[in-house]
Amino acid sequence: MIAISFTLGLRQLPAATTAWHLCTVIIPRRTITGRLVRGKVWRRHDGRHWLYKKFIAEGLALRATG
């Protein structure tokens, strides 16, 4: 008997690939939306590329909105 499994390209990714990490970037990098970021940024690996998001400190965000 032969068991055949079809994954349809859907596979479980390791937890580290779905988690965002706070890191410091010296050389400017492109974000998901195409903007350049540097300094403290959120970074995650999608299995092929590093993705970056701008980091906004909570204290600064609260001062800007309130």
Provide CB contacts within 8 A for 25, sequence distance 6+.
Answer: 37, 38, 39, 40, 41, 43, 52
Supply the pLDDT for residue 57.
Answer: 82
* Phi and psi, residue 19, nearest 5°: -100, 140
What's the pLDDT tens digit per position in 20-39? 989 999 999 999 899 999 99
Q: How confident is the model at residue 7 (pLDDT cuts 50, 70, 90)?
A: low
What b/e sequence results for 5-18 when a residue is b if at least 16 CB atoms lie within 10 Å of its CB, and e otherwise? eeeeeeeeeeeeee
pLDDT value for 65 = 55
pLDDT at 18: 73
Per-residue pLDDT, 47: 82
Provide the pLDDT for residue 41: 94
- For residue 24, the cross-strand partners are 40
